[in-house]
Amino acid sequence: MTVGSDTYMPKSKTPKMDDLDYIPADLSPEERSELEEIRRRKGVLLQEIQRLREELREAIIEVEGLEASTEGSKTLQKSRHVAMGRKKFNMDPKKGIVFLVENELLRHTPEDIAQFLYKGEGLNKTAIGDYLGERDDFNIKVLQAFVDLHEFTDLNLVQALRQFLWSFRLPGEAQKIDRMMEAFAQRYCHCNPGVFQSTDTCYVLSFAIIMLNTSLHNPNVRDKPSVERFISMNRGINDGGDLPEDLLRNLYESIKNEPFKIPEDDGNDLTHTFFNPDREGWLLKLGGRVKTWKRRWFILTDNCLYYFEYTTDKEPRGIIPLENLSIREVEDPRKPNCFELYIPNNRGQLIKACKTEADGRVVEGNHMVYRISAPTPEEKDEWIHAINSAVSVDPFYEMLAARKKRISLKKKEEQP
């Protein structure tokens, strides 16, 4: 390309000092040699820096991997300790709590332990009830915190009881039940001020509802109470006054239409039940319909007599609740060392019990008395003593009568 008579040449780039190939023309041979050495060392340093960067990056990745692995290991170990703590709690509630606290999985405060029991993940509902029912000052504080986690606002009494009794299983001891129901009554009245005149009213009516549930839905109870009878039974419990009939009718219908659901424990429950029995051993039992003697392995625990076909069986062939039963020595022409379980003042009703048939069906027992033979006179006496210690009268009736009596005395003292 020509412009006029001159040939056009593109301008060359201005050379820069950091250009590795550029050497200024005015440098002496010594300066040129020194510049080349500087550039060589710079190149070596840049390579070394790049190598260090790569090593640092690899080290960071390795450290992060180790941290993740360590964190995962810690999480796994914590999960194992929590699972072990739950198992220990199901076998022995106090030892389970101690284990969890010592391993820093639970703080030893009533609020934290109450929250742990309230969530109930993997916990045996019977064990929860046993722990909450203890009379130690600390356990009572845990019970109070546990009850306070329940929200009963705007629930009628049956709805509140359904929620409360689903969170654990009521223990069998009267004193434990009394403390737990007292705490429930106080919480319900706090959430619903003005519904009842006092917590005593709520307490008494709660027990009346629980007994109504048993009477209406237990097949062994033949005399089912009517709504009129339920209303009559609860006259005067509201600080001497009567509760509204509509309220009592609604509570009655709610229980009649839907019984309380009893929380079922997992497979560990049988292990928990039979882990530390009051007594166990081989006995002979006389059949109900077919009067033959059969050798069975008996376990006495939790106010019940369980019997198994073999000691290795996981589930019992039969269960005899000892509630309201009595025991006596008897003579039998065929077997020595006999005793009987029976209902005092029996008018022909069968003992409340159940058994498992050969085909796996669970059916009601068919005994007006249970006749049992021990191997020796000494074992007979030991079994009678152990069963007598375990036989209990339904605590609800006794506690309800005691509370009504207390209310009555209180009213008399207040009268001029």
Q: For residues 319 and 364, give the distance between their C-alpha atoms in angstroms, rounded to a whole number.
A: 10
The one catalytic residue among 48, 54, 173, 357: 173
182 close to 203: Cβ distance less than 8 angstroms: yes
Question: What global pTM score does this model have?
Answer: 0.54
173 is catalytic: yes
Check if the beta carbon of residue 259 is closer than 8 Å to that of residue 221: no
Contact 255, 214 (CB under 8 A): no
Query: Where are the strands (E) in 45-162, listed by range?
Result: none
Tell the residue number behind the tokens 């009794």, with chain if given: 165
Along the 416 residues of the chain, how does pLDDT read in single tens digits?
444 444 444 444 455 545 556 677 777 888 888 888 888 888 888 888 888 888 788 778 777 666 655 555 567 677 778 888 888 898 889 999 999 999 889 999 999 999 999 988 888 888 899 899 998 999 999 999 999 999 999 999 999 999 999 999 888 777 888 899 999 999 999 999 999 989 999 999 998 998 898 888 877 677 788 999 999 989 888 888 899 999 999 999 999 999 888 776 543 444 445 555 778 889 999 987 788 999 999 998 877 899 988 876 777 888 898 878 899 999 999 999 999 999 988 777 888 888 877 777 777 788 899 999 999 999 999 999 989 887 755 566 667 777 777 777 777 777 76
SS3 of 231-264: the string is: HHHCCCCECCECCCHHHHHHHHHHHHHCCCCCCC
The string of DSSP letters for 150-189 reads S--TT--HHHHHHHHHHSS---S-HHHHHHHHHHHHHHHH
